[in-house]
Amino acid sequence: MQDQLKSANILKFKDGQSFPVEPDLLAVEEPLEIRIGYGPVSKREQKSLSVTMRTPGHDHELALGFLFTEGIIQSFNDIEGIRHCEEVGKEETGNIIRIELKPFIRLDIGTLERHFYTTSSCGVCGKSSLEAISISCSVINSKLKIQNEHLISAPDKLRSAQKVFTYTGGIHATGLFNGDGELIMLREDVGRHNAFDKLVGACLMKDLLPLDTYFILVSGRVSFELVQKAVRSGVPILAAIGAPSTLAMELVERFEQTLIGFLKPTTYNVYNASKRIVF
């Protein structure tokens, strides 16, 4: 966790007065470039696919989760290898990662480039339309049902497990819960999309996908991109501490995913498919 935190000297302002205090801890934010190697053994090619601003740690999971949720790979078996790499003539920085796809994987690089765009605030934001995700995803038919008490206990469990947030207060989390409301896995990152991809990447490596017997809780709001990643991973119930967007609503309705917002220990809103909640 040491590489995820950095101290900063601050001046505190309170009740009309300013005074120095103990250094504050900040969540580290650094770029990660994701490169892919692909093609037949006799003619391997390399492509820089994306750059995302992330909190260092679980980089392999982040890259794998991104490739899976964007439909570039279908399983961990599509991967030949993954490693941090270094620029020619420079020491390894840890901010470039290369994933080698197996020779049989065929890619349309032109199509991939049209589907991705990057911003400095949220990293790679995924597919740009509902039609694009419809190609690789199916309606969620999971029979999972969650007891109300298991759902409302999830925010406290997520918060208690957020180690970096405890020190900084400035980082997102994505938690994977089983049908009994137990927190199975958690990942943190300054980018909510990255936290989600790290979790999916970890599940991919553990052969847990599709996640049709689990529900996921995210610490922030629910955007189109998060629903896209959840649908792609087969998640039947997506819950959030914050609010959903209009595009998020369109997507959960199309794929019959249960969506919960403003989840607190005493209240929450069910925006779609309440059939999976046992009150």
* 81: in domain: yes
Residue 209, domain extent: 146-278
- 274 and 166, same domain (yes or no): yes
**Does residue 40 share a domain with residue 122?**
yes
Neighbours of 101 (CB within 10 A): 20
277: phi then psi, degrees, rounded to nearest 5: -105, 125
Same domain, 79 and 203: no
Considering the domain boundaries, does residue 141 fall inside one? no
Assess if residue 23 is contained within a domain: no
Residue 10 lies in a domain: no
Nearest alpha carbon to residue 123 among 251, 228, 31, 208: 31
Is pTM beyond 0.85? Reply is: yes
Let me know if residue 25 belongs to a domain.
Answer: no
Q: Are residues 112 and 160 in the same domain?
A: no
CA distances from 196 to 84, 87, 226, 267 (A): 21, 28, 7, 24
pLDDT at position 77: 96
Structure tokens at 7: 């101290």
Please list the pLDDT of the chain residue by residue as tens digits (279 residues). 668 888 888 888 888 888 788 888 888 899 999 999 999 999 999 999 889 999 999 999 999 999 999 889 999 999 999 999 865 444 445 799 999 999 999 887 766 665 554 433 344 444 444 555 555 688 999 999 999 999 999 999 999 999 887 777 779 999 999 999 999 999 999 999 999 999 999 999 999 999 999 999 999 999 999 999 999 999 999 999 999 999 999 999 999 999 999 999 999 999 999 999 998
Tokens matching residue 5: 């935190």
What token pair was written down for 55?
A: 């909190």
Domain count, the chain: 2
Q: Are residues 219 and 154 in the same domain?
A: yes
Of 104, 134, 164, the position where a domain reaches its end is 134
* Domain termination site, one of 134, 154, 172: 134
**Residues 243 and 268 reside in one and the same domain:** yes
Task: Give the pLDDT score at 107.
Answer: 83
Please tell me whether residues 127 and 244 are part of one structural domain.
no
Task: State whether 129 and 189 are in the same domain.
Answer: no
Same domain, 170 and 264: yes
Structure letter (DSSP) for residue 121: T
User: Which pLDDT score is estimated for 110?
Assistant: 67
User: First and final CA of the chain: distance in angstroms?
Assistant: 39
Q: Identify the CATH number of the domain in which residue 217 sits.
A: 3.40.140.10
Helix (H, G, I), strand (E, B) or coil at 193: helix
Question: Which is catalytic among the residues 122, 125, 137, 203?
Answer: 122
**Residue 197, token pair as written in the block:** 């991809």
Residue 244 lies in a domain: yes
My answer on whether 113 and 214 are in the same domain is no
Tokens of 9: 């000297």
| 169 vs 160: CA distance, rounded Å | 12
CATH number at residue 40: 3.10.20.10
Known catalytic membership, residue 125: no
Q: Which of 72, 100, 134 is the last residue of a domain?
A: 134
What is the per-residue pLDDT for 167? 73
Give a yes or no: residue 110 inside a domain.
Answer: yes
In a domain, 2, yes or no: no
- 250 and 150 inside one domain: yes
pLDDT at 113: 63
Q: What is the pLDDT of residue 87?
A: 54
**CA 176 – CA 187 distance, rounded (Å):** 9
Q: Residues 272, 150: one domain? A: yes
pLDDT score, position 85 = 83
